Structure 1
Amino acid sequence: MSRTALITGATGFVGGHLVRRLARSGWTVRALVRGGSDTRVLDEVGAQRVRGSLDDEGALREGASGADTVFHLAAVTAARGEAAYVRANVDGTRNVVRGTNAATPPPRRLVYLSSYAACGPALHGRPRRVDETPGPVSTYGRTKLQGEAVVGGELAGGTSAAILRAPPVYGPGDKALLPYFRLVKRRLAPAPAGPELRTHMVFVEDLAAALANAADAPPGTYPVAEPVEHPWGDIVRAIAAEMGTRPVRLKLPPAGVRAAGTVAGWFGGIGVFNREKAEEMLAPAWLCDLTGLDALIPPGTATPLAEGIRRTAQWYLEQGWV
């Protein structure tokens, strides 16, 4: 039997991959769409459109009514001031929850895409558990954590919730890691000085699969990632191999990273980079305990870093982005 999904953020990077995955699996896809959005992926799969934004509780109620699952992906990742983060990540999430609560009939499940930034960097160098006190280091992380609290505390009407915390997401269509590919192609590989960053990563198609699986997984909070800890040097080497270069490793002092983030923030952020993203970059490790991951990304199915970087680079080259 066909299932219906309402997706916020459907025209974004992760959203586009989720739209395609659900459509391939026979779902009817509804997308909350603002004016001026790039709707090519929605057109490709024949998705239904609900005109509105995260400020429009009525549109959210309309889109959620009769849907099996609401996937809330839309968020602000970089902004000049706190108010923009709060409006999208907290107030917008509250509107999604209120629209879901008011839907007739109500959805069975709300899937909320959160971030490792909500729980904060690894605790004393070890993966942070879901049940440990969060320690976000940025306004983005704090507001995503507040969004989690809204979902957990205000969702009603028999709708259950699955919250997914994702590390850095990469893959075809990603603009966040693109500047680094371009730098490596120019034989430059900057990184903060000091201990080498250790991080989880997740390929976008794996995250889309995890989101889809979360529609039927037990309710709860799930960190999702390729279950491998990657030193930043491994990521640089994988990118360099695809770009065919041997980049010079540039060690940037923390003060320089912070200054660059501050300057970028004056101009609204360069890509998703600003002062607070600089603080996130300076954390020594972004690792979470992946207990429960098998319910969303079955063992042996996560895309290895080298393959994911290869597919990302190939897409960038085909599009003329690098």
Structure 2
Amino acid sequence: MRVFVTGATGFIGTELVKELIGSGHQVRGLTRSDAGVEQLKVVGAEVHRGNLQDLDSLRSGATGMDAVVNLAFNHDDFSKFAQNAKDEIQAIEALGSVLESGKLLVVTSGVGPGAPGQVRKESDPATDSSAMPRRPEQAAQAVAAKGVHLAIVRLPQVHDTRKQGLVTRLIQIAREKGISAYVGDGTNRWAAAPLKDVAHLYRLAVESSGPGVTTYHAVQEEGVPLRDIAETVGKGLKVPVVSIPAEKAVEHFGMFFGHAASQDMPGSSEWTRKTLGWEPTGPGMIEDLTNMKYF
């Protein structure tokens, strides 16, 4: 298959491009930098220059492809999160506009929170919260309506010993403030999965997704308690571990992370595993957090 990957030199994209090429697929990767050009050339991918805001580059990159995987999202500046979410929606619309009926669009979403105590399943609808402006699933539904096959991959906290999704920002906050904090009793959970297993799931989704809309959960661990995460980070940074009352969460973590750090976001991947034959084998989040270099 000919596959166009946005975010091709990013955290997940780097692994996915290698996985796809290793399985015999032809990959065209989007990059905005000279370093990205060299990275893609080394692994044998076709280079396509552009970025998430350059909609013409997205349309030309997706033209003639059998599948498009949208992994690009600007995580660098959370003060512009709402604008970044808007850019993502426009990118999905642009990519979908040039895909022919019967071709595949793979979009990236998040497991997100469910009802209190509920473990999110693949059959659950997309989350819809004013605190979370990202709407990739909703944007992609319009693309599916014109006959394009749609696969939604909901991510948990994706980790290795370098990055860990939202936990990476929690580590930065702990380093800046000199304490590793959790909210309340810290029993709220975040689903997690190791990087290489997540990249493998994307490849299986590219190869296996059929007509209509299919939702997958890239979840290895159903839920890791935030207190366990904070305690592991505290040991790594050699800083105290403390509980923050819910009403002080935004003050400590900031607007976005104050909300996220209070959320219970467990997820199940039972259906995904059965459907794709996906069996993650990598380390758990706490193991990766324990083995990362904090200094």
TM-score between both structures, scaled by the size of structure 1: 0.75
> CA–CA distance in 1 between the matches of 2:89 and 2:25?
28
Q: Which whole-Å deviations, capped at 9, do the CAs of 1:144-179 have from their partners, x for residues lacking one?
A: 3xx212212223664311101111111144275346
Residue 220 of structure 2: aligned partner: 226
Call closer, same or farther: CA 1:313–1:227 in 2, change over 3 Å: closer
Q: 1:255 aligns to what?
A: 247
Q: Distance in 1 between matches of 2:23 and 2:123?
A: 33
Pairs within 5 Å for 1:54-65: 54-65=52-63
Is 1:53 aligned to 2:47, yes or no?
Answer: no
Alignment match, 1:303 = 282
Counterpart in the other structure of 1:194? 185
Q: Which runs of 5+ in 1 are unaligned?
A: 263-274
Instruction: State how far apart, in whole Å, the 2-side matches of 1:224 and 1:210 are.
Output: 7
- Residue 119 of structure 2 is aligned to residue 124 of structure 1: no
- 2:277 and 2:241 map into 1 onto residues whose CA distance is 33
Partner of 2:39: 41
Specify the alignment match of 1:111 in structure 2: 106
Please give the residue correspondences for 1:242-281 in structure 2 after superposition, counting only pairs within 5 Å: 243=236, 248-262=240-254, 275-281=255-261
CA RMSD of aligned residues (A): 3.2
What is the distance in 2 between the residues matched to 1:107 and 1:59?
Answer: 22
**8 Å Cα contact 1:209/1:296 also seen in 2:** no
Tell me how far 1:36 sits from its aligned partner.
Answer: 5.8
- 1:168-214: CA deviations, max 9, x gaps? 11114427534656759x99532112352222111111110111110
Q: Which residue of 1 aligns with 2:9?
A: 11
Alpha-carbon distance in structure 2 between the residues aligned to 1:205 and 1:166: 13
> Alignment partner of 1:80: what SS?
helix
Give CA-to-partner distance per residue, 1:41-95, whole Å, 9 cap, x none.
3233022111222343432233223322211111234532465134322112111
State the AA in 2 paired with 1:221: T
Asked if 2 retains the 8 angstrom alpha-carbon contact of 1:114 and 1:163, the reply is: yes
Q: Which amino acid aligns with 1:150?
A: A
- Structure 1 pair 111–134 and aligned structure 2 pair: CA distance change class (3 A): closer
Please tell me whether the aligned partners of residues 126 and 138 of structure 2 are also in contact (alpha carbons under 8 angstroms).
Answer: no
Return closer, same or farther for 1:15/1:92 CA change in 2, 3 Å cut-off: same
Structure-2-length-normalised TM-score = 0.81
Query: Separation in 2 of the partners of 1:5 and 1:282?
Result: 38
Shift of 1:251: 0.9
Q: 1:311 to 1:28 in 2, by over 3 A?
A: farther
| Conservation of the 8 A alpha-carbon contact between 1:223 and 1:290 | yes
Identity of aligned residues (%): 22
The SS at the match of 1:200 is strand
- Kept in 2: contact 1:211–1:296 (CA 8 A): no
Q: 1:297 to 1:210 in 2, by over 3 A?
A: farther
The one-letter amino acid of 2:78's match is A
Q: Is the 8 A contact 2:158 2:195 kept in 1?
A: yes
| 3-state SS of paired residue (1:66) | coil
Measure the CA separation in 2 of the matches of 1:80 and 1:114: 20
Partner of 1:90: 89
Q: In structure 1, give the amino acid aligned to 2:107.
A: Y
Task: Give, in whole Å, the separation in 2 of the partners of 1:277 and 1:11.
Answer: 26
* Residue 272 (structure 1) aligns with: none
Q: Following the alignment from structure 2 to structure 1, what is the Cα–Cα distance between the partners of residues 39 and 244?
A: 39
Partner-residue secondary structure (3-state), 1:154: helix
Secondary structure, in 3 states, of the residue corresponding to 2:79?
coil
Are the equivalent residues in 1 in contact too, given 2:180–2:233 (CA < 8 A)?
A: no
Tell me, in whole angstroms, the C-alpha distance in 1 between the residues paired with 2:169 and 2:124.
34
Q: Secondary structure at the match of 1:18?
A: helix
